[in-house]
Amino acid sequence: MFHPQRQPNGTRVTIQHPTTPTPPATWDDWQAVATFVPGGAVPERLYDLPVTAVPPDDASRLALLEVDEPPFTPPPGLAPAAGAVVVEPQGRVWVVHPTNGFGGYRATFPKGRVDRSASLLATAVGEVYEETGLQVAPFAFLADSQRSTTFTRYYLAKRIGGSPAAMGWESQAVSLVPLRQLKAFLNRAVDQALVEALLAQEGEWGRWFAGTGILVAGHRVATRYSWVRQPLPPQQRSLAIDVRLDANQAERLRRGFIPKAMEQKWFAYFEDGVLYQHRSWTGMLIFVTPFRPDGLGLRATQTLVNQDPEQYGVTNERELRQSVEGLIRDLASAPANEDLTDPFVATLAKALGPKYLGSQDVVRHEVEAYLNLLVQRWLTIYLKDQGPGVSADQVYQANARLARIFAGEDPEYTVIGAWNSVEQLGAALVQACDLDADYCAGENLGFILSEALAGVSIAVTSLLREMRERELDWASVVQPQLQALGQFVVTVLLGTHEVLYPGQTLKDFAGSAPL
């Protein structure tokens, strides 16, 4: 069969041994492997996020979060590369199955070489999209990996959009794999090392996703990945207890508890017949209690207790027994967890509002309006009394308005987190719009934006003057070049120009249109 996505040169790709997708029951089962194929079926939503294909220009943009990372220094002779390990709230991880086992990989993590001036982050985001169809936001450094020809930086990343059914031609399937099953899924030692790095941070999952649970029959159920966790220390003791729960209490116990406020001191989850109870402030594991069936309910007769004096100071047997039995009964009788909202998802929902500056449509609308005003101003000068009558002050006001918007000074618009800053967007504008770095040094973002937009005005004027002098056709030559200029400006404001226009600056769009 042919892959639905073609290579960049238009060549069709034959999949010699197609992968079989898993049934829909695996999509929401956090303990099952879910496998998707190109153009295949996908859920409408996965972990509170819609599963919808997104256009390449929107999917490959850097989004939402900064990454604190160490210096990157590839050894001599090795090409720089970047990729990401994409994690989901309930402890599953995305992997790709290279088409026809390319490179000897049965499955691996998405990655690729850094092209020209593209950043490591931009490369990682772009490669994930190309190989999985997913739009992701890197949020942490994971590890550097030395391979035979490349030195690859891997980030941890969250899915914020996209669809695995839209995977590119390099992948014949994409799987969502429980963390504890990853090693059996990956056949290369370099990937096994990444799994070890990920396992070392397993207890941080709850911090990454801020207390999410899974929905079962309308109830929010805690899992090991719903909160920050620490393992039980070697200092522990076994304690005899006796707790019997009826069917209703047992059902409630199985849902566990995800704290919502500092006053709620315990996080609890039930897994494989065992109740784990952690202190919510520190993630320290205090009680581990196995249960067995008791009629329609459950019964516990033994528990393991944390006895590290620096983590839990209670040692009196009677007091310990009262504490753990009381906590279990309280949990079994408490109201069910509310449908908690992941703050990351809530932030994303706000970000995807009608005036979010990470939306290509929003940015394109603003840029096109500005370019149209510049054209009208040029026609006013050229045609004089017969022109549209746009004044220089109107252009100035439009420049100032856009500078305020993208500097985060207009409350009606939502910026892309730290991207809308002097250090990130400001630096990109200086480079991409050919500004004088010394002149812009020490200035605020609004100033740099205003200078960049003035440079756009000069580029438009140069192009229109050339149209007049060379008598170029508007529809076939000038208008397409104006559109290309506008799209370049859009990508600079979004932070994707290094990926989509590597090495190019505003000067490349300012004139010299072909005859």
Strand ranges in 114-221 using DSSP code E only, listed in sequence order:
134-146, 150-162, 171-178, 214-216, 219-221
The Cα 126–Cα 499 span in angstroms is: 8
CA distance 184 to 394: 64
Same-domain pairing of 303 and 441: no
Q: Please check whether residues 291 and 406 belong to one and the same domain.
A: no
One-character DSSP codes across 418-483: GGSSIIIIIHHHHHHTT--HHHHTT--HHHHHHHHHHHHHHHHHHHHHHHHHHT--IIIIIHHHHH
Q: Are residues 89 and 169 in the same domain?
A: yes
One-letter identity of residue 447: F
Same domain, 302 and 363: no
Q: Cα(67)–Cα(276) distance, rounded to whole angstroms?
A: 32
Cβ neighbors of 438 (< 8 A, separation 6 or more) are: none
Measured in degrees and rounded to the nearest 5, phi and psi for residue 472 equal: -80, 150
Residues 323 and 430 in one domain: no
> Is 12 within a domain?
no
Answer yes or no: pTM beyond 0.75: no
Is 39 within the bounds of a domain? Answer: yes
d(CA 50, CA 506): 36
Q: So what's the pLDDT on residue 342?
A: 41
Please list the residues that pair with 290 across neighbouring strands: 274
Do 271 and 313 reside in the same domain of the chain? yes
Contact 245, 253 (CB under 8 A): yes
CATH of the domain at 91: 3.90.79.10
The Cα–Cα gap between 84 and 126 comes to 10
Last residue of a domain, one of 203, 232, 247: 203
Residue 288 confidence (pLDDT): 97
3-state secondary structure of 406: helix
- Asked, for residue 451, whether it belongs to a domain, the answer is yes
Confirm whether 302 is domain-assigned.
yes
In this prediction, residue 263 carries a pLDDT of 66
Question: What pLDDT is recorded for position 210?
Answer: 76
How many Cα atoms occupy the beta-carbon half-sphere of 509 within 13 Å?
Answer: 25
Helix 360-383 to helix 392-406 angle (10° resolution) is 170
- Of the chain, the end-to-end C-alpha distance in Å amounts to 44
CA 127 to chain centre: 13
Residues of the chain with pLDDT under 50: 63-64, 338-351, 513-515
SS3 for 159? strand
pLDDT at 515: 35
Same domain, 241 and 194: no
The pLDDT of residue 261 is 67
Please give the mean pLDDT across all residues of the chain: 87
pLDDT number for residue 345: 44
Parallel/antiparallel/unpaired status of strands 274-279 and 266-271 = antiparallel
Q: Is residue 447 part of a domain?
A: yes
Report the distance separating Cα 413 and Cα 422, nearest Å.
18
- pLDDT for residue 66: 66
Residues 165 and 228 placed together within one structural domain of the fold: no
- Rounded to the nearest 10 degrees, the angle between the axes of helix 392-406 and helix 445-470 is 140
Q: Can you give the pLDDT at residue 337?
A: 55
Decide which of 286, 303, 333 is a domain's last residue.
333
Cα(418)–Cα(256) distance, rounded to whole angstroms?
36
Q: What is the pLDDT of residue 67?
A: 82
Do 158 and 113 fall into the same domain?
A: yes
**How many angstroms separate the CA atoms of 265 and 284, rounded?**
11
Residue 43 lies inside a defined structural domain of this protein: yes
* pLDDT the model gives residue 356: 77
Residue 343 maps to a domain? no
Residue 94: phi and psi, rounded to 5, are: -85, 135
Q: Which of 334, 48, 341, 337 is nearest to 219 (CA)?
A: 337
Same domain for 59 and 199?
yes
Same structural domain, 325 and 373: no
**Is there a domain that residue 233 lies in?**
yes
- Domain count across the chain: 3
Domain stops at, among 179, 203, 227: 203
Looking at the fold, whether 196 and 296 belong to one and the same domain comes out as no
Q: Which domain range does residue 115 map to? A: 24-203
